[in-house]
Amino acid sequence: MVKIGNIELGEFPLLLAPMEDVSDPPFRAVCKANGVDMMYTEFISAEGLIRDAAKSIQKLDIFEYERPIGIQIFGDKVEVMREAAAIADSVNPQLVDINYGCPVKNVACKGAGAGLLRDLPKMQKMTEEIVKICKRPVTVKTRLGWDFETINILEAAKRLQDVGVQALTIHARTRSQLYKGEADWSWIAKVKELPDIHIPIFGNGDIDSPEKAWEYRNRYGVDGIMIGRAAIGYPWIFNEVKHYFKTKEKLPPPTMLQRVDVCKQHFEFSLQWKGEKLGIFEMRRHYSNYFRGVPDFKPFRTRLVESVNPAEIREILDEVAQKYQFVQTEDVPAEMGEVNY
């Protein structure tokens, strides 16, 4: 049984990555319904939290059906992160997660996210202060290092555990790689092999199929897997991985009716949480992913992204279901594009 503090996550948990502009409550709802074991909010600016910025505060919204859930924060100033962690802790998540992995320029190059990999003493101090202030377990998500010449994940893992971090997720790329090239999970295995490491170590990067999840579980000895980009438009991946682990057989890909049904659920959650105007607008980024590989889908997508009427969007989705109900969909998750997390 994998545990973070007193949080029991099963024998081999599957986690949903915290992805900016993706893993909001509507997206989390459909992933929860499709087998994910633990989820995280989008990463939240520490500066935004302590200044009561509306966008940051809204990201603290969590719901009972989502549990267990972690709130992830990022920032470059120790005291600001400490205050933000206290705010995150106060809304009663299962845990508070620190983002030491975001590679994008306006985060990492300002000393936050993966930028802390260039200053491990500061990372350690920041983490120590957050652990002290939080009543709940504190976890970390990070990368291998800043670049290939400065891979320091082994030292970072030991420092983080020493100050009280209760689980570590490692994206198996350096900051300089962004999301390009192949993730090198051998470094995650090296962390697991450290004799003093006893906290759960979760692997992240390039998991896009049940077969790869099984292979990486066995090859690298991780305690669980975090899935990010492959779940965008394809929340079925969590149940597919679990089924494969139990039976060594692949589930059939979702039918078109299932794709439409889950897309509709996502849409309705989006309207409920964000309101009609913003809910419609932000849902537009998801249609291509839900219907990836569907032949001649472009006219439908155009209509979906141009419509500002919920009833019309529902009708268009019904048309999609009617037209493609007998089409065999390919077992292809969303393309592994770049997402900030």
Per the domain annotation, does 329 fall within a domain? no
64 with 141, same domain: the answer is yes
| Residue 293 pLDDT | 86
Per the domain annotation, does 106 fall within a domain? yes
- pTM value is 0.93
Output the CA angle 204-207-209, nearest 5 degrees.
155
114 with 144, same domain: the answer is yes
- Both tokens of residue 289? 């992913």
CATH number at residue 279: 1.10.1200
306 with 157, same domain: the answer is no
74 with 116, same domain: the answer is yes
CATH number at residue 123: 3.20.20.70
- Domain that includes residue 206, residue range: 6-247
- DSSP SS3 for 8: strand
CA-based R_g, the chain, Å: 20
Which residues have a Cβ under 8 Å from the Cβ of 256 and sit 6 or more positions away? Answer: 294, 320, 321, 324, 325, 326, 327, 329
Contact 261, 329 (CB under 8 A): no
Asked if 102 is an active-site residue, the reply is yes
Q: Which of 247, 265, 283 is the last residue of a domain?
A: 247
| 341 has a pLDDT exceeding 60 | no
- Taking residues 289-316, report their average pLDDT: 95
Residue 274 backbone phi and psi in degrees, to 5: -105, -10
- Taking residues 240-266, report their average pLDDT: 95
- What are the CA-CA distances from residue 339 to residues 18, 207, 239, 280, 306 (Å)? 10, 15, 22, 20, 24
Residue 211 backbone phi and psi in degrees, to 5: -65, -40
Output the CA angle 110-116-118, nearest 5 degrees.
95
- Active-site hit among 102, 109, 134, 263: 102
Tally of domains in the chain = 2
The average confidence (pLDDT) of the chain is: 94
| Residue 130 pLDDT | 98
191 with 139, same domain: the answer is yes
Per the domain annotation, does 47 fall within a domain? yes
88 with 163, same domain: the answer is yes
| 328 has a pLDDT exceeding 70 | no
Q: Which of 194, 229, 247 is the last residue of a domain?
A: 247
Per the domain annotation, does 43 fall within a domain? yes
> pLDDT digit string (tens) for 158-208?
999 999 999 999 999 999 999 999 999 999 999 999 999 999 999 999 999
Q: Rounded to an integer, what distance in angstroms lies between the CA atom of residue 271 and that of residue 143?
A: 35
User: How many alpha carbons fall within 13 Å on the CB side of residue 160?
Assistant: 33
Contact 39, 71 (CB under 8 A): no
104 with 241, same domain: the answer is yes
